[in-house]
Amino acid sequence: MTLTEIVKKFPYIVDNINEVALEAGTIALNYFNNTNYLTSKVKGDGSVLTIADAAVEKFLMQELKKLVPGSFFLGEEDSERMTSDQEYLKQLFSSEHLWSVDPIDGTNNFKCGYGQFGVSISLLKNSSEGHVPVLGAVYFPLADWLLYTNSETSFSIKEGREARLSPLEFTESQLKSKIIGLNADEANRFAFVRPDGKYQDVRAAGSTMHIMAATVTGQAIGNYFGTCHHWDVASLAAVGAPIGVKMYDLKTGEVVNGLKREMFTFNPKKAWQFDNNVYVFASKSALPYLRALPHENGQPFVGER
């Protein structure tokens, strides 16, 4: 089915995805307000999973697969098993429709009682470019903030007020004054010095979704990532696409519309992470600035890790 056919066959799918995201956020919040959320385990890649992650992901899998029968499901909780199951991986990457979810993005924040965490849902459609994120919703429970897209328009609902997201254009002064986002792993490797010798402000929120959300709403001019997972970026890639905020290969500047198997590593210690590449999530107007920004040592940042 094409996206048009999906929407025609399931006319309320966008509303249904949003409802699932809100309910999943409520489940996460119930754990957050209960000491049980402190119970956790460490995955092979060193990341943390709590019992709340497992509970939310179980709910997401049950609800989302019902929305598009025959769709495949990729979630953080079961990702290590999927990595070792080559037949399942083959079926997943050849599937027509794929759900990619992060039950709790910002698990370390969540585990420590810090409120920057959220639920991420994306529906991806297979194409010659890989699985392209076409529908997505992210929900930050403590802020009561929902971002979503119907693939043609993207919206933000915060504290009951809905606003349509608009394409982003930045002036030179805005490019220099707004923040740049990094995920936690990049934050301790990248420090930026502009050509004028002044430092550019950077932020690592401990939640990839938060900094990508800042980018689609214009609070940040963009963000870099190289060690994120499939489920970390898919939902906001869908939200960003209608307003021209997309993933780009930092070294080549080429747009990345779809997520392909060869983009990821399946080493158990780095399962489903981007493999040996750095990407930037930004509007086309901010891309040249972000690609040209020097590294701390004064050398061009492009391609350095």
Contact between 117 and 105 (Cβ < 8 Å) = yes
Q: Report which of 232, 244, 223 is spatially closest to residue 180, judged by C-alpha positions.
A: 223
What does the alpha-carbon distance between residue 119 and residue 65 come to, in Å, rounded to a whole number? 17
Q: How confident is the model at residue 193 (pLDDT cuts 50, 70, 90)?
A: low
> What whole-number distance in Å separates Cα of residue 238 and Cα of residue 213?
12
Q: What is the pLDDT of residue 297?
A: 38
Q: What's the token pair of residue 113? A: 């009682």
Q: Which residues pair with 227 in a beta bridge?
A: none
Residue type, 258: G
**Domains of the chain with bracketed CATH:** 3-164 (3.30.540.10), 172-292 (3.40.190.80)
Written as one letter, the residue type at 281 is F
Q: Give the C-alpha separation, 50 to 104, whole Å.
A: 9
CA distance 91 to 79: 14
Phi, psi of 277 (to 5 degrees): -150, 155
Tens digit of each residue's pLDDT (9 = 90 or more) over 44-78: 555 566 888 889 999 999 999 999 988 999 987 76
Alpha helices in 33-123 (DSSP H): 51-67, 79-84, 86-94, 107-111
CA angle 302, 238, 203 (to 5 degrees): 45
Q: Is 99 helix (H, G, I), strand (E, B) or coil?
A: strand
H/E element, 22: helix 13-32
Q: How far apart are CA 125 and CA 220, in angstroms?
A: 28
pLDDT at 222 over 80: yes
Nearest alpha-carbon partner for 125 in 140, 135, 115 = 135
Q: What is the mean pLDDT of the segment spanning 132-141?
A: 96
Q: pLDDT: is 117 or 204 the higher one?
A: 117
Cβ proximity of 191 and 248 under 8 Å: no
Cβ neighbours for 35, distance < 8 A, ≥ 6 positions apart: none
The tens digit of pLDDT for each residue in 138-170 reads 999 999 999 999 999 999 999 889 999 999 999
Residues of the chain with pLDDT > 90: what percent?
51
Which of 107-121, 267-281, 286-300 has the least mean pLDDT? 286-300
Task: Specify which residues 256 forms β-bridges with.
Answer: 247
| Rounded Cα distance, 227 and 245, in Å | 20
Residue 175 vs residues 11, 180, 221: alpha-carbon distances, Å: 40, 9, 7
